[in-house]
Amino acid sequence: MSRAARLLDLLQVFRRYRHPVSGAALAEELGVSLRTIYRDIEALKAQGAAIDGEAGVGFVLKPGFMLPPLMFSEDEIEALVLGSRWVAERADQPLGAAARNALVKIGAVLPPDLRAGLDDSTLLVAGGSPLAAGESELPRIRDAIRRQRKLTIAYADVNGASSERVIWPIALAFFDRARVIVAWCELRNDFRHFRADRVIRLEVETNTYPHRRATLMKQWQAKEGIALRSRQEKEQSMLTRIDSIKQ
């Protein structure tokens, strides 16, 4: 491993810790000697990294430092390419364009040998299901989630019965077969999942919902047991319940 790559790995490890971490713990995680860790910490400090601490006490990296030039491993570059291609195929047009633009910006600051990996990646994404008519509202839904705005929607269930709700959107799930709004429903006084392709009409309200989105996300995850299921199980479970439960 090159010294530059080792310094980058050390930065990545530092960013996972909010509190001081010992040099011994860093050395064990990176598979190098304690002496090398101390030497690399001094090298990062010389390049402007704000690392506080000392041997025997622990070290912590203050936020805001990036090692120039921007560097990624080959696996990280392929992950970025694959992710952007997936978004371009499965998400709405503005989000897909944003993914492609992000890759262009990353490529502009990568060293030449790594930049080639953006175009030469052999990981491909199969075409996804085309967006249904109702899913043209995905950009507005994403904006409402960011701003924590209520939505008033007219929604048709699996049998075609329609209803009007006021919901608090907290997340948008992109599955191969559907795009799903995760929200608190005022009518049901509980969390519900709404397929975006079944939204007949949508209005973004001017008022925000009364609880923080992060708090609602934790409550939803606790209820659904999201952390305990695989991706496939989560998708099948969510879509099955959308079709079976009373919305």
- Whether 139 and 238 share a structural domain: yes
What's the rounded Cα separation, in Å, for the pair 166 and 201? 12
- Whether 47 and 103 share a structural domain: no
CA count, 13 A, side-chain hemisphere, 162:
8
Q: Check pLDDT > 90 for residue 203.
A: yes
- Whether 212 and 167 share a structural domain: yes
pLDDT at 15: 81
Q: Is 194 exposed, middle or buried (0-12, 13-18, 19+ CB in 10 A)?
A: buried
- 142-186 pLDDT, tens digit each: 999 999 999 999 999 888 899 999 999 999 998 877 889 999 999
Asked if 71 contacts 62 with a C-beta cutoff of 8 angstroms, the reply is no
Structural domain count, the chain: 3
- Whether 155 and 212 share a structural domain: yes
112, part of any domain: yes
- Whether 115 and 149 share a structural domain: no
- Which tokens belong to 199? 């939204």
pLDDT at 211: 94
216, part of any domain: yes
- Whether 172 and 92 share a structural domain: no
- Whether 173 and 79 share a structural domain: no
45, part of any domain: yes
- Whether 228 and 145 share a structural domain: yes
- Which tokens belong to 54? 């000392």
- Whether 215 and 154 share a structural domain: yes
- Whether 107 and 157 share a structural domain: no
- What is the span of the domain harbouring residue 43? 3-61
**Bridge partners of 58?**
54
What's the rounded Cα separation, in Å, for the pair 231 and 120? 28
Asked if 40 contacts 7 with a C-beta cutoff of 8 angstroms, the reply is yes
What's the rounded Cα separation, in Å, for the pair 180 and 195? 4
The whole-model pTM stands at: 0.64
- Whether 51 and 86 share a structural domain: no
Which residues, including other chains, have CB under 8 Å from residue 219's CB and lie 6 or more apart?
191
At 139, the pLDDT band (50, 70, 90 cuts) reads very high
| H-assigned helices in 19-156 | 23-30, 34-46, 74-90, 93-109, 112-120, 138-147
Give the residue among 109, 106, 42, 113 at the shortest CA–CA distance from 69.
109
- Whether 140 and 235 share a structural domain: yes
68, part of any domain: no
96, part of any domain: yes
Of the residues 86, 120, 154, which one is the last residue of a structural domain? 120
19, part of any domain: yes
54, part of any domain: yes
pLDDT at 65: 61
69, part of any domain: no
- 62-117 pLDDT, tens digit each: 876 655 555 677 788 888 888 888 888 888 889 888 888 888 877 777 777 677 77
